[in-house]
Amino acid sequence: AREDGGVCIAQSVKIPREPKAGEFDKIIRRLLETSNARAVIIFANEDDIRRVLEAAPRANQTGHFFWMGSDSWGSKIAPVLHLEEVAEGAVTILPKRMSVRDRERIGQDSAYEQEGKVQFVIDAVYAMGHALHAMHRDLCPGRVGLCPRMDPVDGSQLLKYIRSVNFSGIAGNPVTFSENEDTPGYDIYQYQLQNSSAEYKVIGSWTDHLHLRIERMHWLGSGQQLPRSICSLPCQPGERKKTVKGMPCCWHCEPCTGYQYQVDRYTCKMCPYDMRPTENRTGCRPIPIIKLEWDSPWAVLPLFLAVVGIAATLFVVITFVRYNDTPIVRASGRELSYVLLVGIFVCYATTFLMIAEPDLGTCSLRRIFLGLGMSISYVALLTKTNRIYRIFEQGKRSVSAPRFISPASQLAITFSLIWLQLLGICVWFVVDPSHSVVDFQNQRTLDPRFARGVLKCDISDLSLICLLGYSMLLMVTCTVYAIKTRGVPETFNEAKPIGFTMYTTCIVWLAFIPIFFGTSQSADKLYIQTTALTVSVSLSASVSLGMLYMPKVYIILFHPEQNVPKRKRSLKAIVTAAAMSNKFTQKGNFRPNGKAKSELCENLEAPVLATKQTYVTYTNHAI
């Protein structure tokens, strides 16, 4: 009832019987603790009322409080003398009364004002007399003086007769008592200031019910508009009430924070994990789900690199197929070159799988091809560098050819290493079947307005490390072989271009790691990681394509005069040249790479050809 329009007491303050200095200032400060409760009901004598009013201006609160006084204030001048502005608007009550006329014995010029309670004193005496008379009539009929039944008088019986009196009072008004033992009613006054004059004006009355004339009321600063006096303002939607101990109608409004919504007036509750609160926090709504779109700025660069890369790869493949039997294509090791081109193509094509909408099919293809493209590429390069390394290491010890350097052997080694990657992927599918998920946790921002659910494949960072780990191992191993074969004569092999390719690729992936794993708490984690991964894969493929194939394509198309067979060199001449070159290098006697090594090989080949012995030639065994 207190919150539905009834009276609510914010706090009760007692005035000491013998107040000390500053006591009334403390009372005002107590009242200001509930500053929105501006109506103050005072039950006190007129001296204490005046002291309370005097304390308000000292706290600079003139006009803040709306005073309501009991009949002890009534329409008295003493409590408000020289405090008119503080008391303006005060509402007081007095029992209904009338002045006793024709019985005063005063001069016409006298300033005497009849005390308002004179009527009640006289009527009270008459009420007692009428009650005793009725009691004597009933208990002592026909007797003069007290009879034994009234000696002594029974107080409880006398009270019944007092409640039953009904006579005309001294002022001519009827005197009776209601069921609640009240007087017939009250007059309601308001202390008003108008035209620099102050007076109590009757604004209503109370008999059996309230009669209030609102148009007669006047309030400081608001005219006839009724002022508001409440302990606490109503809480806004999305706020819960926290009641103040000892003040049942006072509360603090606490907003529901984070992902909470308002259940009722007193409770906030967390939204489900896939939902966020509405704007006014009175309910929950689904968190929007996002994914990397084809037209997103984060997808533009990866798609551009992929499209250009695929076009360039197809151009190289077409060129190599058309000039398949030319010396420069045959010397590059056609079988492994085509395998490497397949790996480069898969690397570029993976970008489209990474940007496509995640579903069962897309997620399965991501698992297969994300690491497979790099594995194919690095296996082909590793097989090449390993072959070169073994040939020239063998040449330091013997002129016989090492084992497993034929094209068929190289392809067998390559596909065996690729099958290891596929075997790992198959095991992964069995242990953890592929599926898409909506990730709400990683995008759970502090402000729920920016919360998003990310539709993605169920591939954790650890799973991604395992997926790419095999490719990284191949890359590192290939780089080691590239370093070991860096001193091999460049006239006979691709060791140096492969070395430059692997060095650059390592730099690309070293830059990728902090970018990818440093975005774990970023709001754009999905976009940054996908872009970083696809760009790194495309750049790795582009480095291989640019350094290993574009020079050959350039010679094939623009310098066909260089695409002619050179004099055949036997394997014996090659490995012998490598051994001699190694000795010269150790002694520090070397000339510019091409001339020194080329001349050495030319000189070594003449006696070999003169013997007319059959050796495996350079053309048939490209290095």
Q: Per DSSP, what are the bridge partners of residue 223?
A: 219
Tens-place pLDDT, residues 312-349: 999 999 999 999 988 888 887 888 899 999 999 999 99
Rg, Å, the chain Cα set: 53
The answer to whether residues 327 and 565 touch, using CB atoms and an 8 Å cutoff, is yes
C-beta of residue 167 within 8 angstroms of C-beta of residue 157: no
Cα end-to-end distance, the chain, whole Å = 97
DSSP string, 568-605: P-BHHHHHHHHHHHHHHHHHT----HHHHHHHHHHHHH
Task: State the Cα–Cα distance between residues 539 and 16, nearest whole angstrom.
Answer: 87
- Average pLDDT of each block of 10 consecutive residues along the chain (623 residues)? 60 88 91 87 93 93 90 90 91 82 71 73 91 91 85 89 88 76 79 86 88 86 74 87 78 91 93 92 92 90 95 95 89 87 95 92 90 90 84 68 76 91 89 87 83 85 80 88 73 70 86 76 74 91 92 91 68 55 48 38 35 34 40
Q: What is the pLDDT of residue 500?
A: 84
Please give the pLDDT value at position 541: 93
Confidence at residue 320, expressed as pLDDT on a 0 to 100 scale: 93
pLDDT tens, residue by residue, 425-472: 899 888 888 888 888 887 778 889 888 888 888 887 777 788 788 888
Q: How far apart are CA 85 and CA 82, in angstroms?
A: 8
**Cβ neighbours of residue 147 under 8 Å, at least 6 residues apart?**
139, 140
Continuous H helices in 518-570: 525-548, 550-558
Nearest to 261 by CA among 242, 240, 283: 283
pLDDT of residue 497: 83
Q: How far apart are CA 574 and CA 564, in angstroms?
A: 19
Domains of the chain: 2-101+114-216 (3.40.50.2300), 239-286 (2.10.50.30), 297-564 (1.20.1070.10), 567-623 (no CATH)
